[in-house]
Amino acid sequence: MPEGDTVFRTARRLDEALAGGEVTRFDLRVPRFATLDLTGQRVQGAVPRGKHLLLRIGESTLHSHLRMDGAWFVYRPGEKWRHPAFKVRAIVGTAEREAVGVDIAEVEVVPTRDEDDLVGYLGPDPLAADWDPIEAVRRLGADTRAIHVALLDQRNVAGFGNEYAAELLFLRGILPTTPTPEVDVAALLDLGVRTIRANRDRRNRTFTGIDRPGQATWVYGRSGRPCRRCGTLIRRGELGADPTRERITFWCPRCQR
């Protein structure tokens, strides 16, 4: 599942592949921008912002959001793609490399000067150079909703998704439904920052410290299976800011109280 660490690695890969090159192929397969052509423009670089990716080309920014299944792949020009063409939403190529966006939920282009119109609402990003822990604690601490909901609200902190929420709350022994004012949000965010920064440079995300299939998480995706700590069966539920935004939650009823 793409979260802040995934987007950070993706932006770094796109930056290494495209930055400084002149665009030789530009193809957005979305109706609103299907006729837009940025060929001949210089790629300035790729920047992550929480779960959002900003690819700056000339004086424009190609904004994408990976959502649940999106990904960017880098190929050499003419190299065969490892995915069907109908899944492709965006192609940005230079003489050296070709970036292909697959199953991307959001694709849009704005003048770079207007990037804040897209991402200015986001809270502090733990993977950004300007990470502000004091502001992050203030924003999260002011939220009165259940901690699982508050932690997923990108206006509080940018980059944590459902997997991080489930795993961080387990590690801190906090039920997902706990009202945020009852939580030590400073300690929770400190753990979250250390965890996402550690995962930023790993090929595969892990919360247990074990990078093997099926062993990387404590509770996420493990409903009905025994807790790795106490053996109690992991439970699953749904929680959200409203019925249209409910997310699946996972917790151990003994370790999280």
> Is 2 known to be catalytic?
yes
Residue-averaged pLDDT of the chain:
95
**Segment 38-56, tens digit of pLDDT:** 999 999 999 999 999 999 9
Q: How large is the average pLDDT for residues 133-151?
A: 97
Residues 6+ apart with CB under 8 A from 157: 123, 124, 125, 126, 136, 139, 140, 151, 189, 192
Q: In the prediction, which pLDDT does 105 show?
A: 84
**Cβ atoms 10, 17 nearer than 8 A:** no
> What angle do helix axes 133-141 and 185-200 make, rounded to 10 degrees?
130
Residues 6+ apart with CB under 8 A from 107: 28, 30, 33, 62, 63, 64, 89, 90, 101
Reply yes or no on whether the pLDDT at 118 is more than 90. Answer: yes
- 68: confidence class by pLDDT, cuts 50, 70, 90: confident
> Is 84 known to be catalytic?
no
Residues 6+ apart with CB under 8 A from 145: 179, 180, 241
Q: For the chain, how are helix, strand and coil distributed in percent, rounded to 5?
A: 30, 25, 45
Q: Which of 49-58, 160-169, 173-182, 239-248 has the lowest mean pLDDT?
A: 239-248
Q: In the prediction, which pLDDT does 2 show?
A: 81
Tokens of 210: 């074990």
pTM: 0.93
Q: In the prediction, which pLDDT does 15 show?
A: 98
- 257: confidence class by pLDDT, cuts 50, 70, 90: confident
From the list 2, 48, 126, 176, the catalytic residue is 2
From the list 9, 49, 51, 200, the catalytic residue is 51
Q: In the prediction, which pLDDT does 1 show?
A: 66
From the list 3, 98, 163, 167, the catalytic residue is 3
From the list 12, 13, 87, 247, the catalytic residue is 247
> Is 176 known to be catalytic?
no
Q: In the prediction, which pLDDT does 244 show?
A: 67
DSSP code per residue over 31-89: GGGTT---TTPBEEEEEEETTEEEEEETTEEEEEE-TTT-EEEEE-TTPPPSS-GGGEE
Question: Distance between CA atoms of 178 and 88, rounded to whole angstroms?
Answer: 41
Q: How large is the average pLDDT for residues 166-176?
A: 98
**Segment 200-253, tens digit of pLDDT:** 988 889 999 998 888 999 999 999 999 999 999 999 999 887 766 788 999 999
93 has which bridge partners?
A: 25, 98
